[in-house]
């Protein structure tokens, strides 16, 4: 089944920020659009707001007649006449009778959505596609109240809908594949990047993204590092666009915590999705982020800029004259070339004692592996980086028993490579490493359970939350066994189940790579 014809009317019910955004997307694509809202006057105000936004885009030459099918520009400038004419306000639900697609963006309450769709089912044609933009409710449950749940799909846009390309097309348990395909192709015809997803708590993005927030909060709760340092390491070492603390301040602490709690409860309180107590206290105190002027950071300045402490950055350490490489350092192997380029001698140990660097003092430097510094004599751990050459900051982890000389040499080594160094507490898995390992694990688990394909998951995480790599891209780069080994080590130290590797990741770690076997 192909995408909806552009002559087919599209309705949006609920005209808040998301509803307006979806309506604008459909209008720009060329459809006649009907706006309906149960609150008197709200749909008319929304239509005016959409036209005003399009006017501004035309004035700034960011939108032309070519971007608006079937339109011609007014001689005085402004939104094309035909585009204005295609945007209509519906006074009653019955005005939507001839629509080929109705998208709801109303209150996130199951009873409200079910009541709406039951009413629509008696109004629209038998072939009308019904779509919910829910981000936290079950599409199956929403459709459960319908006589024909097969035509209900999830169309989960991301905010702001006109700008963000990703749309999760969610099939409920009863969704007919023909309707899911029509929704998918229509989203693609609208210039979006659709990904197909089964009806699972959090769908793709909100399910797999939970560790990004959870592990940052866990490091903070363990007093491993402060928010500014954790955010800096995630950005400057991990390659993420924003750190977890600043991002949740932007989203809203109440919104982010609500999504986390919804996913956790939907998975029957699965410990892997347990909400953060520290974030709960922040919400209870009314510190919800940018919108209230204070969250993890202070935004009370008139400009709205965040007042935050600077990340911990170590004082100059002692540049080592040489290091001894034991093994290839795995995902951090490019460090050896960087060390040589910095003029520091790298001596190769022909006997394979592991994957560590031995410093002149005799202390060792190792990539975070889920173990702690206190377990080994004189070991400093360093965090995983997206790209060690491009990274501008590296986190080091040491225990109270680590020799000061070892820490000084480890600090000096990375400073010689042009990196800022943040020293955090003795946190197993550190910051980036444990976060990436858990994201990779949830992604493998999702594929094994039929949630989505590897390709769609990678696309969703890159476009939906701006990850620098999709989980499977990361998994291939890090090596088949890396994430499993790190999580297995973490699970030994925290046997609550939070870090227990999934069966899917276990199978991936120990399966024979057919490409390797035939090479």
Q: Which residues carry out catalysis?
A: 135, 156, 168, 206
Report d(CA 53, CA 87) in Å as an integer: 13
* DSSP-derived secondary structure letter, 307: B
Q: Which residues pair with 88 in a beta bridge?
A: 34
Secondary structure (DSSP) of 438-496? HHHHHHHHHHHTTS--HHHHHHHHHHHS--SS-HHHHHHHH-TTHHHHHHHHHHHH-TT
The answer to whether the beta carbons of residues 258 and 134 sit under 8 Å apart is no
Report d(CA 85, CA 87) in Å as an integer: 6
Report d(CA 133, CA 147) in Å as an integer: 20
Report d(CA 17, CA 50) in Å as an integer: 10
| Residues 311/317/322/326 CA torsion (nearest 10 deg) | -40
Token match 């790190």: residue?
Answer: 486
Q: Which residues pair with 157 in a beta bridge?
A: 167
Report in angstroms the alpha-carbon separations of 504 from 208, 359, 493: 15, 38, 21
Phi, psi of 247 (to 5 degrees): -70, -45
Q: Which residues pair with 12 in a beta bridge?
A: 35, 103
Token match 């009314």: residue?
Answer: 286
Report in angstroms the alpha-carbon separations of 315 from 190, 357, 412: 53, 22, 9
The answer to whether the beta carbons of residues 370 and 332 sit under 8 Å apart is no
Let me know how long the chain is. 519
Omega within 30 of 0 (cis) for the link into 218: no
Report d(CA 366, CA 168) in Å as an integer: 40
């Amino acid at each position: 089944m192909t995408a909806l014809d552009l002559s087919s009317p599209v309705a949006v019910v609920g005209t808040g920020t998301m509803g307006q955004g979806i309506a604008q997307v459909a209008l720009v694509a060329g459809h006649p659009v009907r706006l309906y809202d149960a609150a008197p006057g709200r749909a008319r105000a929304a239509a005016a707001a959409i036209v005003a936004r399009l006017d501004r885009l035309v004035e700034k030459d960011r939108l032309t007649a070519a971007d608006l099918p079937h339109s011609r520009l007014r001689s005085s400038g402004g939104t094309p006449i035909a585009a204005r004419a295609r945007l209509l306000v519906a006074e009653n639900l019955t005005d939507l009778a001839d629509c080929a697609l109705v998208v709801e963006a109303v209150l996130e309450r199951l009873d409200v959505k079910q009541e709406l769709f039951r009413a629509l089912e008696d109004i629209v044609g038998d072939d009308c596609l019904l779509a919910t933009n829910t981000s936290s409710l079950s599409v199956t449950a929403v459709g459960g109240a319908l006589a024909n749940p097969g035509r209900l799909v999830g169309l989960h846009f991301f905010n702001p809908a006109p700008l963000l390309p990703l749309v999760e097309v969610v099939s409920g348990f009863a969704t007919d594949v023909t309707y899911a395909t029509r929704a998918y192709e229509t989203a693609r015809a609208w210039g979006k990047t659709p990904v197909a997803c089964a009806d699972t708590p959090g769908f793709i993005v909100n399910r797999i993204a939970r560790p990004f927030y959870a592990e940052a909060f866990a490091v903070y709760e363990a007093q491993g590092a402060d928010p500014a340092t954790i955010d800096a390491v995630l950005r400057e070492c991990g390659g993420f666009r924003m750190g977890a603390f600043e991002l949740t301040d932007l989203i809203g602490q109440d919104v982010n915590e609500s999504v986390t709690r919804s996913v956790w409860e939907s998975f029957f309180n699965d410990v892997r999705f347990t909400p953060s107590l520290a974030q709960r206290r922040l919400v209870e105190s009314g510190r919800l982020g940018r919108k209230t002027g204070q969250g993890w950071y202070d935004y009370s300045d008139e400009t709205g800029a965040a007042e935050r402490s600077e990340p911990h950055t170590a004082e100059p350490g002692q540049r080592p004259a040489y290091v001894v490489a034991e093994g290839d350092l795995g995902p951090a192997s490019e460090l050896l070339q960087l060390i040589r380029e910095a003029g520091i001698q790298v001596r190769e140990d022909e006997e394979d004692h592991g994957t560590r660097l031995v410093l002149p003092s005799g202390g060792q430097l190792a990539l975070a592996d889920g173990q702690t510094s206190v377990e080994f004599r004189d070991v400093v751990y360093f965090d995983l980086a997206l790209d060690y050459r491009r990274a501008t900051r590296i986190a080091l982890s040491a225990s109270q028993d680590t020799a000061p000389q070892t820490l000084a040499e480890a600090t000096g080594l990375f400073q010689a490579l042009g990196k800022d160094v943040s020293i955090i507490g003795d946190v197993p898995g550190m910051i980036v490493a444990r976060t990436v390992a858990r994201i990779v694990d949830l992604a493998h688990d999702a594929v094994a359970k039929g949630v989505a394909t590897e390709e769609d998951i990678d696309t969703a995480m890159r476009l939906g939350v701006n990850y620098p790599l999709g989980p499977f891209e990361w998994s291939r780069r890090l090596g088949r066994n890396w994430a499993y080994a790190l999580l297995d080590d973490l699970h030994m130290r925290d046997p609550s189940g939070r870090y227990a590797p999934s069966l899917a990741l276990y199978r991936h770690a120990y399966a024979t790579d057919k490409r390797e076997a035939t090479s």
